[in-house]
Structure 1
Amino acid sequence: MSSSSGFGSDGDVAALAALVADAEGAVDVVRAGQVREVRVLAAAGRLAREQAAGASERVQSHEMALRGIAAELAGVFAATDRTLQRRIDEAQDLVENYPATMDAWEAGRVTRGHVRVIQDVGCSVPAPVRGEFERAAIERCVGETPNRRVRDALVHLAERLHPRSFSERHEQAAAGRCVRVQAGPDGMSDLIATLPTVIAEGVVDRLTRQAREIINARPQADADQSDGGAATGDTEAAAPDSAVAGGSSFGGDTRSIDQVRADVFADLLLAGTPALDPTVDDDGNGTLGAIRGKVQVVVSALTLTGQDDGPADLVGRSPIDAATARELAGDNTAWDRLLTHPVTGTVLECDAYQPTAAMRRLLRARDRHCRFPGCRQPAIRCEIDHTHAASDGGPTHVCNLAHLCKRHHDVKHHTRWRVKQLAGGLLVWTSPTGRVYREDAPPPLVAFAIDIGQSRRDGIPRWGVSPSATPPF
């Protein structure tokens, strides 16, 4: 291994390996301390309940007992008694309502981050099915980073187990949509719109792509401005402030993408079209106005045809109601039909009714996001990478391609991280110290049912999913 690739010499790698070993020991110690702390706080809550038992005004007695205990513990934890009281309540809920999660955490199968996600999502699950949710959630968390991918999977699991349909609850929630202003300091305010998720995601996607169009136009604007200055001999003619302040010139524009998004957002709301458009010409409107928001949705065939009202998956975000998914599918002239494995849920084939970039569509449907361990960047904002480099003879075929975001694409090519792709889109990553991370092609979260503990591959349960359809909104 050459010393120029990533971490330097083999001695550097050995030093890093020693640090990793120390980190593993530290993680074990921290986990044991966290588990003990939660159990101590839960015991404090039980003590308060026992002290209040039999009192004539039980609720008030329990509250007073809990306050007294929290005040006592506050000195030990160097926190306020209010904070300790809240933590006691959370610990009691965790210990009493999620015993299997506590056991898995204590055994090192899951982390504190997983526990938080299970508890946060589980609060919406009715008590009669919470045990079923907890068992499935633990299995889903094992071996995964506690990121949005895991949370999304648990949210879909909770939706499936809820006695009220997602469509019914979404309809009720959508009635509360609104726009409000929250005043901030220094003459700034937050404009907050509470919208259906698919609409909000479409808005952000459109703003992002319009902002990138503006940023990509900067080199030409700077070149035009430089040429104009040279022709007149007037070095003051290309003042950046005037270029940004008005007109169609974007020379000297140094705004960040967040700033450009905010400016385009205001333009669209106030003027109906971007007031500043570096792509505009004498022939009519520029390209910014033609950009439309895109989202990727996976919906089961039964939901699409109206045979059930199960929630669809807004890739990278959260569930959406069946009616919205059907409307998105109906409004599109083309959509992908995904054939998935009946046990593992792996995307096996993608039928495109219009023969356009079939391989890219299949990879986007299979990967859904960056395939580096723990990354959640949506596939539509990633680059397609040859797992085995094309320059080294790697074929341009779905069995050798995967989506990587720019950051992790660079990591793969410029550090000692290595990856190989196995059947079904399974990526096996090896870190510079030799640690191995398995990154499965994520099955669509939309499912007819969930096979808990029935279908296993390499000892890890997989989701049983239906054939699904993805409209490219």
Structure 2
Amino acid sequence: MVESLLVDWVYRLPDEDVAGPPVELLDAGQVASELARLQRNRARETAREADLILRLAELRPDVDDPPPGTPGARSRTWRTTDPEFAGVSEFFPDELAHAINLGRGTAVFRARRACTWREKLPATFVALRRGELDDRRAGVLADVLQHTTAGLATEVETALLPEAPDLSLAALRRRALALLAALDGAAMEERQEEARKAADVRVADAGDGMATLTGDLPADDAAACFAVIDSLARMAKADGDERPIGAIRAAIHSMLILRPADSGCGGVHVHLAVTTTLDGLANGEGGGEVEGAPITAGQLRALLARVGALGLSTPDGGTLTFAVTDEDGRLLATLSAGELARLAEQGCRRHPGAECGCPVAGMPPATGSYRPTDRQHRFVDTRDRRCRMPNCGQRAGWADHDHVVPHAQGGRTTCTNLCCLCRSHHRLKTFAGGWGFRMDPDGTLHVTSPSGVTRTTRPPGLRLRGAGPPPFAPADDPPPF
């Protein structure tokens, strides 16, 4: 009886003033009501986030951005300015991404949506603030109508908003597109043109050693591409390929891109990196346990023996790099196949023929010039692998090697002062005011935005001490063992 009264009392509190009653005390009807309350609150929070995004945009005018035609100015053929954010700094999406700890693309998407609600769908924005329309349906309206005029968007909104909560997401999108086409066919063509301009190709980790490659194409082109892949896959299946048809399609898709026989393009060059820990190459107990331990000739001979046993060789037209790390994943040295063989055979010059502990390989030395050496390029690429800006996944092959402490301000050209930044974030660091970058000797990078938010990225292989579970001890294993 007391529990029932408590639940009823909590349930009657205003939505925004209650976190919710204990779920184990709720019946089915109360669970449904609680879920509806959460939906309303999520809508309100989405509207609040949109207001905050718009406020940040107001606080970041473009007065300090590099003017067109000056050093550092953005190429208009590379990335166009969103018309919704005319007068706003081009670096605003990066600061927003830093604040919400998500990628730049997500930040741009949310900023555009917020601007569409405010400028073109005011009634939808009000309904969102009140929790009367959920964020998914409000997002559908913004997505369909963002490229139309404010007057046309309001006309569609007026017709659809009353019934929007009762329509599925797909039905709402169809109704909005149909109404838009009926009211203004030119607007539909403009929307399609904007979609073509925004087309891209993306790759995402799919787990289990797999990745998903996606591309935005006109519908007829996409259908034609799939038809070619499917036809070739079925031909291979008919010829006796025993793999599932989906696996054959995926293999043919890859082959068509990597080996375009009639395009005049060469095949893709493979750059292979093999990573080994120093303690795994130690000659005796405790090898590699000291931070920054030297890499000896004996350890390189052990690595060379493993390479021979595995049959590893440099790919045709590509590279083979050996990366040696300490037990925490901190990169100590990178070696080409030739360097590995030469150093393993040559040994220590100070103690020829002896098994000493002198280092024969390590981090490339600093250079007095502005441009990094080839060995520094290889070391930094192997350590960082991608752009080091938080939430940026641009691979190292498309990144610049940036001086964390600028060279013009006394920063040395050394691996402990170099990191990979894609061209976009390299420009941000150089030309956007208020950003701070600091790097630790192990490659850990700390980035602080003008808003005062600090995010940290670490080299992909670097492990935090104490971050994992304690080592397994058989004596601690409880029965039945």
TM-score bracket relative to the smaller structure: 0.3 to 0.5
* TM-score w.r.t. length of structure 2: 0.34
* TM-score w.r.t. length of structure 1: 0.34
